[in-house]
Amino acid sequence: MKRFALAVLLLLCGLAAAAQTTKVRGTVTDADSGDPIPFAGVFFKGTTIGITADLDGHFTLETRDSEATVLVCQLLGYDTVEMPVRKGSFTQCDFKMKLTDNRLSGAVVKADNRLIKRLLSNIDKHRGRNDPERRPVYTCDVYNKMELDLTHAQEILTGKRFLREFGFVFDYMDTSAVSGVPYLPAMISESVVQRRHTSNPDADDETVIANRISGINPDSNMLSQFTGSMHLKINFYKPFINSFNVEFPSPIQNAGLLYYNYFIIDTLQVDGRKTYLVRYHPKNGISSPAFDGEMQIDAEEFAIRSIHAKMKRGGNVNWLRDFVIDAEYERLPDSTWFYKQDKMYADFSIALGDSSKVMSVIGTRQLDFSNPDFSDKPSIDRVNGPVKVESDSNHKSEEYWDSVRPYALTQKEKDIYKMVEQIQDMPLYQTLYTTVYTIVTGYLDLGPVGIGPYLKLISFNNLEGFRPRVGIHTSKNLSRKYRFTGFLAYGTRDREFKGGVSTELLFSREPTRKLTVDAHYDVIQLGRGTGQFTDNNILSSIWHGQQKLCPMSSYSVLYEHEFAMDFNASAEVALKRYYANGFVPMMRWDGTSIGSLATNELHLQARFSKEETVNRGHFIKTYMHTNYPVWTIDLTGSVSGLRKGDCGFFRPELTMDWKFRIPPAGMSKLHINAGTIVGTVPWPMLHLHEANSTNLMDKSAFSCMDYFEFASDTWVTALWYHNFNGFFLGKIPLLKKLNLREELTAKLAWGSLRDANNGTLPGYGAPLQFPDGMTALGKVPYVELGAGISNIFRLVRVDFIYRLTHRRKQMPDGSVIAARRPWTINVGLEFRF
């Protein structure tokens, strides 16, 4: 998290040197009518570097070729026009084309679906041979260079008194060839990796051999794992290109005609081989994200030689003003094809209009592939994960970097590393760094100790009343091997102190080996989901809903062990005690209260995943994303007879979480949990079906269910969410510009309850009576259905949830009561691209 905070600050006040790259951007129009001229060829004179104008006559080009000093525009029926460009700089080139003297009509290019069908069919037939990922094995070296830049920085920051000491950074301004907007370079990184691939089994991994990031301490660089080539991989031979969780249809997929119109512009000779130049554009009525660009296809082997893909505007994509991919493939001596170069450009912005002056972040990434080898099957490490970082990767010499780069850096580019170090020594930078780090992590670190989390400093609830809280933890400045955490809180209504202490001992960060010892006394909500709004913080206080809080003391020892990247396990011993109160009654059948009940638990957990991206902090490991289901097995047992009021049981559970895409119709998230309880237990130890008593969204709970409404000792829960990503609303003219997205929700709970655990049946052995309103689910499953709209102002989601079953419940005394909330409206915030 701290490295993320540093990256944010580098965007706010960092700097870099502009590369000596010649960049051009412009339009091609008819000199007489002013209409755009699509498909005009634009290229640097004396080179093979060029592109065709799109349907609106726009084009962009950039190159490091020192011979690129003149730009040429030509099209059959028009006079050829040449325009000088500034070498190593940005030039705006707007061509106004005149018809030739014989007054020939301008060239007209029409889509020919018959030829395109044949071409796409041939590409598909040769896909197995031409797609590098379908090779049985390969290894290769990859050089990766990434840069982050700030647009409109000079306009916004100039004149700000507190930034005067950073004024020299504007000497390094450059201009984007894609948008034509000036930008200030802010961060640069370089890495050299070795990538390995096998198709049987389908697996990839890589080793980061060398890495450096401007402004990051080499001894504490946790971003190295994200600087290789495994993340944001681009392969146009796949049906869909996934970037930032957005699915773009590949223009060479067999069903490409569903999304694009194609135009065969020309037939070229490239490296002595006949090559088709094909322009493609999204079809009218396509509301999902799509590309606009051109590609070169080898006419003999139907392989991609190069492809230029720019995101179509208006495709219901958030935070991305521009997104461009340029990929090149090369033909090897054995007549097969392999990656050559992969360039990506992304302009992240709050405002998506071209005329906006809001500061945005430009990210660029270039991969250069070399030394492909297909002879021996590489050894794929299935234990330590897909990305390994060599211990000395952050300590390579300048001589090493000069030897491995495919092209030399300019002196200004080299200066970025020491310039960022200079800016980090400025007092203002330290203040900004501390502010951002506090916002991101929740703790204000003051040397070896941090205070927080700030969201929990003040809260209130119906049990404790007003609840001030102070928490501290030791920071990494004290140790990266151990961390102490503690908190103290007080309730003005119950007049009780709560508090806790914990110690984390990190034996290994990769793979994870960690021991946590914890002791605390606090209040919890039994039967709640995992949403943040049900935790003890200021947000849950404002929208607390129907709370039924229970004081609990816990003493636990937890050990986490990562056997392999795909297999994580933990073991925990915990002594817990739950205390009765007016919201959580624990009544015997004779009407007396037991005061409290206890468990003496052993909890074993095993988690299985595949190809999952993981972010490893110093003490926290965060599971980011996988395209495959994640399976979790939980085994919990409690032994009775060790303490007063304790109970014994065995509770096995199986959970499956899966996020899968259904392009172009959006993405689904599915959560399934099943379990049973062996033994006779008091009602707080039953499975209390997760409820959400607020109007705030909690995707882990039932929206129309109250706390303590249903209990089971054998159960299955299924939660399904689907986002259509504007698939339908994007086709309605009046709604299309709003970029709204359709949401569907289905939630189901099935459960049974043995008589011995049913607290509504006296004389059957249940230790405690159920609280008022609690029943078993019965034979009919509990079902909620919902529909909603998301992406309102790009952040807000509103769902209407309808309780389909159990709208009227028959109580043990024969009375029938109506559900308190037969329907509800949930509101939430979601950040999506």
132 vs 419, more confident: 132
Read off the pLDDT of each residue in 31-50 and give the average, rounded to a whole number. Answer: 86
The pLDDT mean for the chain works out to 84
Q: Residue 323 is encoded by which pair of tokens?
A: 């997104």
Q: Is 148 left (phi over 0), alpha (psi -120 to 50) or beta?
A: beta
Q: Which amino acid, residue 542?
A: I
pLDDT in tens, 200-215: 877 788 888 888 887 6
| Model confidence at 50: pLDDT above 80 | yes
Whole-number pLDDT of residue 3:
41
Does pLDDT of 105 surpass 60?
Answer: no
Provide the pLDDT for residue 232: 65
Q: Give the closest residue to 630 by CA, choosing from 672, 681, 663, 587.
A: 672
Q: Say whether pLDDT at 15 is over 70.
A: no
Tell which wins on pLDDT, 625 or 605: 605
How much is the pLDDT for 102? 54
Rounded mean pLDDT of 526-542? 73
Query: CA 435, CA 458: separation in Å to the nearest integer?
Result: 20
CB 827 within 8 A of CB 798: yes
Which pLDDT belongs to residue 805?
93
Percent of the chain with pLDDT over 70: 86
Identify the pLDDT of residue 13: 38
Work out the pLDDT band at 224, boundaries 50, 70, 90: low
What is the rounded distance in angstroms from the CA atom of residue 123 to the CA atom of residue 329?
A: 14
Q: How many Cβ atoms sit within 10 Å of the Cβ of residue 357?
A: 12
- Residue 329's pLDDT is 93
Instruction: Give the residue from 218, 217, 254, 252 showing the smallest Cα distance to 234.
Output: 252
Top pLDDT among 39 and 495 is at 495
The answer to whether the beta carbons of residues 246 and 833 sit under 8 Å apart is yes
pLDDT of residue 503: 96
Tokens for 678? 């062996």
User: Does the structure show a pLDDT above 50 at 307?
Assistant: yes
- 3-state DSSP call for residue 224? helix
Q: Is the pLDDT of residue 230 over 60?
A: no
Q: Residue 65: what pLDDT?
A: 79
* Total H helices, total E strands in the chain: 9, 46
pLDDT for position 111: 57
Q: Is 212 helix (H, G, I), strand (E, B) or coil?
A: strand
| Average pLDDT estimate for 606-612 | 90
pLDDT of residue 216: 64
Residue 181 has what pLDDT? 76
pLDDT mean over 362-367:
88
pLDDT at 384: 61
Q: Report the amino acid identity of residue 709.
A: E
Residue 367: C-alpha distances to residues 167, 192, 195, 231, 378 (Å): 33, 10, 12, 11, 21
Average of pLDDT values for 703-716? 94
CA dist., res. 361 & res. 56, Å (int): 26
Average pLDDT over residues 325-332: 92
Looking at residue 342, its pLDDT comes to: 92
- 262-278 pLDDT, tens digit per residue, is 988 888 888 889 999 99
pLDDT for residue 482 is more than 90:
yes
pTM above 0.85, yes or no: no
pLDDT at 822 over 80: yes
Which residues make Cβ contacts (< 8 Å) with residue 71, sequence separation at least 6? Answer: 24, 42, 43, 44, 45, 61, 82, 83, 84, 85, 91, 93
**Contacting residues for 105 by C-beta, under 8 A, at least 6 apart:** 77, 99
pLDDT band at residue 19 under the 50/70/90 scheme? very low
Residue with the larger pLDDT of the pair 10 and 374: 374
Which tops the pLDDT comparison, 50 or 184? 50
Give the pLDDT score at 172: 64
Q: What is the pLDDT of residue 18?
A: 35
pLDDT tens digits along 123-164: 999 998 999 988 899 999 999 988 888 777 666 666 666 556
Task: Provide mean pLDDT across the span 355-378.
Answer: 81
Q: Using CA atoms, how far apart are residues 336 and 131, in angstroms rounded to an integer?
A: 9
Token pair in block for residue 175: 């201009």
Confidence class for position 227, pLDDT limits 50, 70, 90: low
pLDDT score recorded for residue 797: 92
230-234, 549-553, 746-750, 754-758: least confidently modelled range? 230-234
Within a 13 Å sphere around the CA of 253, how many CA atoms are in the beta-carbon half? Answer: 18
Which phi and psi (to 5°) does residue 172 adopt? -110, 25
pLDDT at 14: 34
What is the distance between the alpha carbons of residues 405 and 663, in angstroms, rounded to a whole number?
A: 38
Q: What is the band of 297 on the pLDDT scale with cuts at 50, 70, 90?
A: very high
Among residues of the chain, what percentage have pLDDT more than 90?
38
Q: Is residue 17 pLDDT above 50, yes or no?
A: no
Q: Three-class SS string for 635-671?
A: EEEECCCCCCCEECEEEEEEEEEEEEECCCCCEEEEE
Give the mean pLDDT of 18-28. 76
Task: Locate the DSSP E strands across 216-259.
Answer: 240-243, 246-249
- Confidence class of residue 109 from pLDDT cuts 50, 70 and 90? low
Answer for the pair 561, 597: CB distance below 8 angstroms, yes or no.
Answer: no
Residue pair 180/4 in contact (Cβ under 8 Å)? The answer is: no
Minimum mean pLDDT among 57-61, 63-67, 157-161, 398-402: which range?
157-161
CB 171 within 8 A of CB 184: no
Q: State residue 416's pLDDT score.
A: 64
Q: What is the dihedral of CA 113, 118, 121, 126, to 10 degrees?
A: -140
What value does the mean pLDDT take over residues 502-524?
93
